Amino acid sequence: MDYTIFMKSRACLSTILALLLVVFAAVPSYASSETASAAPSALIGTISLVFILLLLFIAIVLFFWLRRNIFRPITKLNMAMLCITEGNFNHALEEDAKGEIGEIYQSYEDMRLRLKESAEDQIEVEKTNRELISNISHDLKTPITAIKGYVEGIIDGVADTPEKMDRYIRTIYNKTNDMDKLINELTFYTGIDTKRIPYNFHKIKLTDFFGDCVEEVGLELEAKNIHLDYSCFVSAETVIIADSEQLRRAVNNIIDNGVKYMDRSKEECKIEIRLLDEADSVKIEIEDNGRGIAAKDVGQIFERFFRTDSSRNSARGGSGIGLSVVKKIVEDHGGYIWASSRENEGTCIHVVFRKYSPTTEDSHFV
């Protein structure tokens, strides 16, 4: 039994015993003061009356004690549980109860807060799923509408020359590629989000990895008249724990996003990749001199389907989930990612990974 309730019960029993002792002490005195001829029935009646009054007193004391310490708290707890069953997780038991009742109240509060958090998370998940379905519908509808229009043009004979026919067919082909890319990105994102796509973590030398990346994307950027600058300020022996395939996907997504929103009116379009040494970690910066992002939008660019153009037109291509995939990959590697940007000047994506050392467990990077 809880110490507090035990002390209360002991005090109640002590009071009852004290009253009994008073009664039994009074009986001999009462008997000696009476004459020898007093009727024994009078003494018995008096004792019976005292016991009845004592029992009545005990019953009243127990009733009010039980009501205050047991029945009332249980009633409040029952009302609170009814609120829980009705989906109201805001009904708190704020009384400073002690003893077993206090422990039950605390257990209820812990349960209520966990259920409230779970319900809020579920609401957020449902909201995200609705947005996801809405965005997928929009992004699929755009190329499907274009494909339908060009196919109808072919059927109606609008493409009446080989040149027009070739242009229509190429447009249809490009639109189907856009749809295929969107579906692949969604499949990949869902896979890593639900952990159905496992990571293959291993030690990689950062300079070797980015040397290969720069060589690979350099030719592509050169074909698009975009200059690539690469600066490495880390040791050639710097190692991180990563899945090279998924890390390459993240780097490519960042660069593709920069290319997509590049300001072609500028004299020189360029992308810079910098590797910086920061004690026990490395910082990767990928910066472009494109159109930049408004300050109010910078914090949202890693959200799924977010686009800085409010009209959501797909003229530039892309699904709007490229950077959300990057964030997911970086965080699954134990890293951090954020962006800085100035309108009409460009955007810089910052990524930080912890260096690998023999004293560091690989699990820290997972």
Residue 281 has pLDDT above 90, yes or no: yes
Q: Is residue 132 within 8 Å of 304, Cβ to Cβ? A: yes
User: Which of 188-192, 247-251, 306-310, 340-344 is predicted with the least confidence, judged by mean pLDDT?
Assistant: 306-310
Q: At what angle do helices 244-260 and 322-332 cross, to 10 degrees?
A: 150
Taken in order of first residue, the domains within the chain and their CATH numbers are: 3-29+41-116 (no CATH), 135-193 (1.10.287.130), 202-365 (3.30.565.10)
**pLDDT tens readout for residues 83-125:** 888 888 887 776 666 677 777 778 878 888 888 888 888 887 7
Calculate mean pLDDT across residues 216-244. Answer: 91
Calculate mean pLDDT across residues 264-283. Answer: 90
pLDDT given for residue 270 in this prediction = 92
Q: If we measure between CA atoms, which residue out of 198, 197, 179, 180 comes closest to residue 188?
A: 197
Terminal-to-terminal C-alpha distance of the chain? 47
% pLDDT > 90, the chain: 25
The sign one gets for the Cα dihedral 178, 180, 183, 187 is negative
% pLDDT > 70, the chain: 78
Cα within 13 Å of Cα(194), Cβ side: 6
pLDDT given for residue 343 in this prediction = 87
pLDDT band at residue 130 using 50, 70 and 90 as cut-offs: confident
The sign one gets for the Cα dihedral 43, 49, 52, 57 is negative
Q: Is residue 192 within 8 Å of 332, Cβ to Cβ? A: yes
Q: If we measure between CA atoms, which residue out of 79, 134, 140, 142 comes closest to residue 112?
A: 79
The sign one gets for the Cα dihedral 13, 18, 19, 23 is positive
Partnered with residue 339 across adjacent β-strands are 349
Residue 5 has pLDDT above 70, yes or no: no
**Any idea of the CA torsion for 120, 125, 129, 132, to the nearest 10 degrees?**
110
pLDDT given for residue 40 in this prediction = 63
pLDDT given for residue 112 in this prediction = 84
List of long-range contacts for 120-129, beta carbons under 8 Å, 24+ apart: 128/304
pLDDT given for residue 95 in this prediction = 64
pLDDT given for residue 12 in this prediction = 55
User: Which of 63-72, 144-153, 323-332, 355-364 is predicted with the least confidence, judged by mean pLDDT?
Assistant: 355-364
**pLDDT tens readout for residues 169-179:** 999 998 898 88
**pLDDT tens readout for residues 293-311:** 888 888 888 887 676 654 4
The C-alpha atoms of residue 355 and residue 361 are separated, in whole angstroms, by: 11
Q: Beta-strand (E) ranges in 103-225?
A: 202-205
pLDDT band at residue 366 using 50, 70 and 90 as cut-offs: very low
pLDDT band at residue 36 using 50, 70 and 90 as cut-offs: very low
Residue 58 has pLDDT above 70, yes or no: yes
Residue bearing the bigger pLDDT, 265 or 151: 151
With 0-12 / 13-18 / 19 or more C-beta atoms within 10 angstroms meaning exposed / middle / buried, residue 112 is buried
Partnered with residue 352 across adjacent β-strands are 283, 336
